[in-house]
Amino acid sequence: MFNMFVASAEEITNFVNVDIPSWGWPMLIAVFVAALLIDLLLRHKTAHAVEPKEALQQSALWLALGLGFSGVIYLMFKGQGEGSSAAIEYLSGYLIEYSLSIDNVFVWAMIFVHFKVPNQYQHRTLFWGIFGALVMRFIFIALGVQVINRFEKLLVVFGVFLIYTGIKILRSGDKESNPSDMRTMKLFRKLVPSVEQYDGQKMFTSVDGRRFATPLLAVLVLVEVSDVVFAVDSVPAVLAVSREQFIVFASNAFAILGLRSLYFVLANMRERFIYMPQTISSLLIFVGIKMAVGIWKHIPTVWSLGVIIGLLAIGVGASVRHDRRKSA
């Protein structure tokens, strides 16, 4: 009877196990570098405020690229008999990261409003913030995979942490804090000589021959810190649906790259997504349960993908319906 509820060791490790082609990582890095350079040098070479139409178009493009890369994943590993499973793991990780990052977008909006960052300088700041986030995520993912592979029982700890975080979000709601009161900001002001005025898109400026940091550097520091905080939740959550570093990093990176455009779409729409905290909470609790029970019973990733899509659909649908009733 007990065997009906406990999977064998072979079933527990039922994640894709593939050999990455020699050209895999160089191709992935080249795609990200090209995307960043095109965005910086062609689309946003000069500082300008991102209009809603432009933001929607770019957000749709990044979403299409992120979802479409699942086809590349499928073709890469089709010959190893893991094409479909790898694509499902990628899509699950992408949707988890993309949905959990919505809260990060609203945090950025709060930071920009607090420091009164002019609209035309926000994109360049987020560009460098995203670049730093990609580097940190790669480190987090590499360490996370190694830790889990060596100490499998830590899955229970990570799972419980995600469940705790989900419950905490559900109970605390949508509380905001003052960025200036953060310990990081207080330490920054003690260590880095700064001025209060902006100097275009510059992070540093010269005053009477001395070099000072502009408020944009402080904003960039807070953006990076916020990503580290959110990575503590999102990286373990994605590791609940895949253990292959290539797939996990690709899903994280494509989701992160699309956040800048998503920010300009959602920054002023926070009140319209009233049920997103509950949705994010539900996602964290679900992936936490999946991770915690994973050493005994593997929940197929295709089931996880279905639950993730279902939760997102319910959360977004309920929010849109509430907004329409409120506007009627």
Instruction: Tell me which of 16-20, 33-37, 90-94, 174-178 is least confident.
Output: 174-178
Q: Which residue has the higher pLDDT, 184 or 47?
A: 184
- Indicate whether 6 belongs to any domain: no
The percentage of residues in the chain with a pLDDT greater than 90, rounded to a whole number, is 16
Q: pTM, whole model, 2 decimals?
A: 0.78
The 8-class DSSP code of residue 153 comes to T
Residue 48 has pLDDT above 70, yes or no: no
- Indicate whether 1 belongs to any domain: no
- Indicate whether 125 belongs to any domain: yes
**Once rounded to an integer, what is the mean pLDDT over residues 76-101?**
90
- Indicate whether 31 belongs to any domain: yes
- List the beta strands (DSSP E) in the chain: 204-207, 210-213
Closest CA to 219 of 137, 55, 109, 100: 109
Closest CA to 254 of 91, 106, 129: 91
Q: Given this model, what pLDDT does residue 322 score?
A: 83
- Alpha-carbon distance 25 to 4, whole Å? 40
Map residue 154 onto helix, strand or coil.
Answer: helix
Structural domain count, the chain: 1
| Residue appearing with tokens 């995520």 | 137
Show the domain range for 32: 22-327
- Indicate whether 12 belongs to any domain: no
**Once rounded to an integer, what is the mean pLDDT over residues 223-249?**
84
- Indicate whether 16 belongs to any domain: no
Q: What is the pLDDT of residues 282-319, one digit of tens each?
A: 888 888 888 788 667 767 777 888 888 888 889 888 88
Residue 214 has pLDDT above 80, yes or no: yes
Q: Given this model, what pLDDT does residue 179 score?
A: 65
- Alpha-carbon distance 221 to 216, whole Å? 9
- Indicate whether 10 belongs to any domain: no
**Once rounded to an integer, what is the mean pLDDT over residues 264-283?**
75
- Indicate whether 57 belongs to any domain: yes
Q: CB neighbours of 87 closer than 8 A, spacing ≥ 6?
A: 70, 71, 73, 74
Q: Which residue has the higher pLDDT, 229 or 202?
A: 202
Residue 8 has pLDDT above 50, yes or no: no
